[in-house]
Amino acid sequence: MRRCALAAFALCALMIAAARAEAPGETDAGREPYFVAHVKLAPGHYIDRDTGLDCEDAGVVTACAPPDGTVRYFDPVLNARCARTGAAALCSN
């Protein structure tokens, strides 16, 4: 009985490790990264990694606008890779 439980635990641990290796947001040397930004940013601005938008923190409010260039990112809501150029975003899994 203990051997069966240990074997099940080992199999479960291997499955979890495999799932973590393929988790969104992680990259391997041979795969395209989930986040690449080819944009010009004004001082104090940053690219939001979940939406691909050009954002700026203004106190308690964050203002975001389409970027001036192309951003490739992973959208966790859609569970898909996306590419944003200006206001248009194209996503696919």
Name the residue ranges covered by the structural domains of the chain: 2-92
Span 34-55, pLDDT tens digits: 788 888 899 999 999 888 999 9
- Higher-confidence residue of 67 and 13: namely 67
* Beta carbons within 8 Å of 44's beta carbon, 6+ residues apart: 56, 57
Confidence (pLDDT) at 30 = 44
- Higher-confidence residue of 12 and 35: namely 35
Once rounded to an integer, what is the mean pLDDT over residues 59-69? 91
Q: What is the pTM of this model?
A: 0.61
Starting at the edge strand found earlier in the chain, the sheet holding 54-58 runs 45-47, 54-58, 61-65
